[in-house]
Amino acid sequence: MVKVLVNSVLLHIQVTVLVILSHVRLDENMLQTLLNSCPLIVSFSLEHCSGNLGKIKSDSLKVLNIRQHGSTWEIDAPNLVSLDYLGSQIPELKIARESTQLEHSKIILECNNLNASWFCKLRKFRSNSSSWFEVSLYFINCGDINMTDLQMDHIGYTPRVDVLNVNVQWMNQTFVDALLWSCHPRRLNLFSDVIGTVTDFINHLVFLTNSSHSTSHRSTPWHSQLKGINAFDGKNQVAPTQKWGACKKGLNGGEGGSSFFIRLVMQ
């Protein structure tokens, strides 16, 4: 048993592994002091904590979960296996030593007021690590994105996301452009209750992936190609197909008020 004093509260921590901090205000170096005092911590969770997260340095840490903390943080955990973040803000992340063992990494963002600056910040966040396996975005609507502002952002190479989950009700075409620019997904899962949103999203995506020319707001074309589309209506699969026309016909035949789930596989 290890005893650690945090904010005048004595914590009794089992030497074996798991620490959860919930609704605690983090003072400078407090988190690192806790990790140093418990060198065998394997799993660490922060839930709705405020203050300065600072640097997380641990050779023993394998699982890190962070909920609702959007400040600047640095991770130095070379043996990390799982990394999850859920919040409404995009944090500023630095990876000191990236783990070669990382098997699971997921960021979930509940978003409002999306604009070009927000997508630039998302891409910058992703460019600081090549390890994000899954990105999920939840929001009600998205206004027009100024693609010229995105083009002026000279962020270098951005790693591809293996799985991109998008839950949206209303959007426009520039949202699709900004999404592809910031995430480069291998697989895209689209969730919506609005058939018009699904149709507009995939119509524009098909246009981009089939186009061999640069658009006015991108210096290079979107080179990925659609390998397949699978559409689901509630519990039932509507139309697995590689051709969007057949898939759209199946969706239009679905019942009103249904939730739609579209899986797109990118090359």
The answer to whether residue 250 is domain-embedded is no
pLDDT band, very low/low/confident/very high, at 62 (cuts 50, 70, 90): very high
**Which of 65, 96, 127 marks a domain boundary?**
96
The reply to whether 22 and 152 lie within a common domain is no
pLDDT in tens, 124-169: 888 776 667 889 998 876 777 877 777 666 566 667 788 889 888 8
Mean pLDDT across the stretch 71-80? 84
Residues 6+ apart with CB under 8 A from 163: 133, 134, 135, 185, 186, 187, 189
Structure tokens belonging to residue 224? 């990925």
Q: Which domain holds residue 7?
A: 1-96
Q: Does 218 score more than 60 pLDDT?
A: no
The reply to whether 56 and 146 lie within a common domain is no
The answer to whether residue 236 is domain-embedded is yes
Burial (Cβ within 10 Å: 0-12, 13-18, ≥19) of residue 196? exposed
The reply to whether 11 and 52 lie within a common domain is yes
The reply to whether 85 and 129 lie within a common domain is no
The answer to whether residue 254 is domain-embedded is no
The answer to whether residue 154 is domain-embedded is yes
**Which of 42, 62, 96 marks a domain boundary?**
96
Number of structural domains the chain divides into: 2
**Which of 96, 118, 146 marks a domain boundary?**
96
- Cite the beta strand spans of 119-248 per DSSP E: 134-138, 161-167, 185-192, 226-233, 236-241
The answer to whether residue 24 is domain-embedded is yes
Is the C-alpha dihedral spanning 25, 20, 82, 116 positive or negative? negative
The reply to whether 148 and 171 lie within a common domain is yes
The reply to whether 175 and 234 lie within a common domain is yes
pLDDT in tens, 3-44: 444 444 445 554 547 888 888 888 777 888 888 887 788 898
